[in-house]
Amino acid sequence: MPDSERDTVTKEWLQAELRSATRDLIILDCRSTNLYAECHIRSAVNFSIPSIMLRRLAAGKIDITSTIKCRILKQRIINGYKEGIFVLYHDADATNDTINVLHRRLKQDGCHVVCLEVRFTSV
């Protein structure tokens, strides 16, 4: 599979993984903070950053952990960086730069990254 394509997982796979808790999943919600506050996948954390930070992340001028304020999340990402599976998702309306930049950076850093096959909706 070419690098430009993303590995995807189904919602059923994610449900099974969340129930079994056998792997270290780091689920990143790439939607806006408001949409995340309305509804999100259990154990997901919101990854919504200002556009200036997103551009710096895309350019390789900062690393992912420097964009995260929460110490617990930062440590979880550091611990699971090479061993964990990053699951990214966003909403149906987005041409979401955040998910594209985040996916590319995590892949460049050697992380296992997948995207939720179906875009997340609160329906």
The CATH label, of 1.20.1250.20, 3.40.250.10, 3.30.565.10, 3.40.50.970, for the domain at 8-116 is: 3.40.250.10
Q: What's the pLDDT score for residue 122?
A: 52
Indicate the pTM of the whole model: 0.85
Under a CB-based contact definition with an 8 Å cutoff, are residues 77 and 64 in contact? yes
* Annotated domain spans of the chain: 8-116
> Mapping DSSP to helix (H, G, I), strand (E, B) and coil, where does residue 118 land?
coil
* pLDDT tens by residue, the chain, 123 residues: 334 467 899 999 999 999 997 778 999 999 889 999 999 998 898 988 899 999 999 999 999 988 888 788 888 888 878 788 999 998 866 557 889 999 999 999 899 999 998 766 554
C-alpha–C-alpha distance, residues 40 and 49, integer Å? 17
pLDDT at 76: 82
